[in-house]
Structure 1
Amino acid sequence: MGQEQHDQLTYRLEEQMRVILRTLRRELNQLFEGTATRSEFFILRSLSENGPQRPTLLAEQFELATSQVTALTDKLYKTGFVTRTRSTEDRRSIVLALTDEGEAAFRNLEVVRRKYLQERFGTLSEEELNVMIHVFDKILATMDEEVVSSN
């Protein structure tokens, strides 16, 4: 395969990945509408799986600015899905935790998300899924190497 053909295939792959990600984001946000956005869902999931956390830890986890996490959690706080309390170790820090209502909302959204992903990826065989995961792992490994080498 020549460089020009490789470039065309790479461009096509990038375009398909962009469309797939945009579609997944849009459709999940539509399915979650009225409860939480896709980004808010991931914060709920992290709090459910990892327990109470400081906004700075969530920001690191999702590669966001702390101000973005604060904006995302403002709605979750107003809807009663999370609580904000002062840290016992550092009174300047806030700790976010799920309420029972937030845990229930997360569980319901997780069911919706799981069903959606099964519909979207249900036509793929286990072998096809494994091949795709392997390919994405390979791509991510080169990205990780670039991050490490640029620091």
Structure 2
Amino acid sequence: MEDRKVLLTKLEKNLLLVIRKLRRELNDVFGETITRQEFTFLKMLYQKEPQMVSSLAKELEVTASYATAVTDKLLQKGYVNRQRSAKDRRIVELSITDEGTELMNDMIKKKDAYMIESFGKLSDDEIKMMTMLIKKLR
């Protein structure tokens, strides 16, 4: 039986390779239109808007400054709007624009097709097991 340290080294190597592959291929899927990070932030607004930058940062487990930088890029590209909250004028909220919604519909279709192709070799049970194991690591 293999030593635990050897097993963990193999696990680390394979996880890194899979993560790099997913990142590289998702960048290819999204093309030059949007980055993976921008997609993730825009998807959060697509699913639930309006939101404050601080809420997005907390949900995605990133710093507020990073969240601000990503959302600034989305604002420049015309995919999000910033507006003062109707409930509290001190609060600035982000919402997705019609152009952002159209982009998300297209990008989600592309991402879903990529995921189906990439994980098509796995059975539903294997996908469930992989999901459970990744959640356990988190």
TM-score normalised to structure 1 length: 0.85
For 1:63, the equivalent position in structure 2 comes to 61
Once the 2 structures are TM-superposed, how far is the Cα of residue 99 of structure 1 from its aligned partner?
0.6
Task: Find the aligned partners of 1:78 and 1:109 in 2 and give their Cα distance.
Answer: 19
Task: Find the aligned partners of 1:69 and 1:139 in 2 and give their Cα distance.
Answer: 24
Once the 2 structures are TM-superposed, how far is the Cα of residue 26 of structure 1 from its aligned partner?
1.6
Matches within 5 A, 1:1-151: 1=1, 5-140=3-138
Unaligned runs of at least 5 residues, structure 2: none
Task: Find the aligned partners of 1:132 and 1:80 in 2 and give their Cα distance.
Answer: 37
Once the 2 structures are TM-superposed, how far is the Cα of residue 16 of structure 1 from its aligned partner?
0.6
Once the 2 structures are TM-superposed, how far is the Cα of residue 122 of structure 1 from its aligned partner?
0.5
What's the Cα RMSD here? Answer: 1.4
Unaligned runs of at least 5 residues, structure 1: 141-151
State the structure with bigger RCO (CA 8 A, min sep 6), 1 or 2: 2
Report SS of the residue matched to 2:131. Answer: helix
TM-score normalised to structure 2 length: 0.92
* 2:103 alignment partner AA: A
Higher helix share: 1
Task: Find the aligned partners of 2:87 and 2:128 in 1 and give their Cα distance.
Answer: 44
Task: Find the aligned partners of 2:44 and 2:33 in 1 and give their Cα distance.
Answer: 17
Once the 2 structures are TM-superposed, how far is the Cα of residue 51 of structure 1 from its aligned partner?
1.4
Identity of aligned residues (%): 38
